[in-house]
Chains A and B, each alone.
Chain A
Amino acid sequence: MNPEFLDFEQPIAELEAKIEELRYVGHDTEVDVDEEVARLREKCRALTESIFSKLTPWQVSQVARHPSRPYTLDYIGRIFTHFQELHGDRCFADDPAIVGGLARFEGQSVMVIGHQKGRTTQEKIRRNFGMPRPEGYRKALRLMRLAEKFRIPVVTLIDTPGAYPGVGAEERGQSEAIARNLQVMAELRVPIVCTVIGEGGSGGALAIGVGDRIMMMQFATYSVISPEGCASILWKSADKAPQAAEAMGITSVRLKELGLIDEIIPEPLGGAHRDPALAAENLRNALSASLQTLRGRTVDELLENRYQRLMRVGRSED
Chain B
Amino acid sequence: MSWFEKLVPTRIRTEGSPKRKVPEGLWEKCAGCGAILYRAELERNQDVCPKCGHHKRIGARRRLDLFLDPEPRTEIGAELEPRDVLKFRDSKKYKDRLSAAQKKTGEKDALVVVKGQVMGVPLVAAAFEFGFMGGSMGAVVGERFVRAVETCLAEGIPLVCFAASGGARMQEALISLMQMAKTSAALGRMARKGIPYVSVLTDPTMGGVSASLAMLGDVHLAEPGALIGFAGPRVIEQTVREKLPEGFQRSEFLLEHGAIDRIVDRREMRDTVTDLLTMLMRQPAIRAD
Binding site for B on A (CB under 8 A): 163-167, 169-176, 178-180, 182-187, 202-203, 206-207, 209-210, 222-225, 230, 233-236, 243-244, 247-250, 255, 258, 260, 306-307, 310-311, 313-316
Contacts and interface: CB of A to CB of B under 8 A. Distances in A.
B213 A179 contact: yes
B186 interface: yes
Between A164, A260, A310, A311, the greatest number of chain B beta carbons within 10 A of the residue's beta carbon is seen for: A310
B214 interface: yes
A262 to B, nearest CB: 13
A307 B153 CA distance: 15
A307 B184 CA distance: 10
Contacts of A178: 180, 211-212, 230
Contact of B259 (A165, A173, A187, A244): A173
B245 interface: yes
Contacts, number: 185
A314 B175 contact: yes
Contact of B180 (A187, A206, A316): A206
Given A175-B214, A224-B170, A249-B174, 12 more contacts: A173-B257, A179-B213, A182-B211, A186-B188, A203-B211, A225-B168, A244-B90, A247-B86, A247-B173, A311-B146, A314-B138, A314-B176
14 contacts: A163-B230, A173-B258, A178-B211, A180-B216, A182-B181, A182-B212, A186-B188, A202-B208, A203-B207, A207-B211, A222-B174, A224-B172, A224-B176, A247-B88
B182 A163 contact: no
Contacts of A203: 168, 177, 180, 207-208, 211-212, 230
A307 B188 CA distance: 10
B185 A247 contact: no
A183 B184 contact: yes
A103 B129 CA distance: 47
Interface in B166-212: 168-170, 172-182, 184-189, 191-192, 207-208, 210-212
B231 A248 contact: no
Nearest to B86: A249
B176 A175 contact: no
A233 B140 CA distance: 22
Interface string B232-258: 100110011000110011000100011
Contact of B211 (A174, A247, A258, A311): A174
B215 A314 contact: no
B94 to A, nearest CB: 9
Contact of A183 (B188, B208, B229): B188
B-side binding surface: helix, strand, loop or mixed?
helix
Given A172-B257, A202-B177, A260-B178, A179 B88 contact: no
B83 interface: yes
Interface of B: 83, 85-86, 88-91, 138-140, 142-143, 146, 168-170, 172-182, 184-189, 191-192, 207-208, 210-216, 228-232, 235-236, 239-240, 244-245, 248-249, 253, 257-259
A208 B48 CA distance: 40
A316 B176 CA distance: 14
A206 B211 CA distance: 10
A315 B212 CA distance: 19
Nearest to A312: B182
Nearest to B186: A311
A177 B134 CA distance: 23
A171 B210 CA distance: 14
B170 A225 contact: yes
Nearest to A260: B174
Contacts of B179: 313-314
B177 A166 contact: no
Given A174-B231, A316-B83, A167 B245 contact: yes
B169 to A, nearest CB: 8
Given A178-B230, A182-B212, A203-B230, A166 B236 contact: yes
A225 B235 CA distance: 13
A307 B185 contact: yes
Nearest to A222: B174
A210 B178 CA distance: 9
Contacts of A184: 188
A83 to B, nearest CB: 28
A270 to B, nearest CB: 26
A175 B210 CA distance: 6
A179 B216 contact: yes
B184 A258 contact: no
Contacts of B213: 179
Contacts of A185: 181
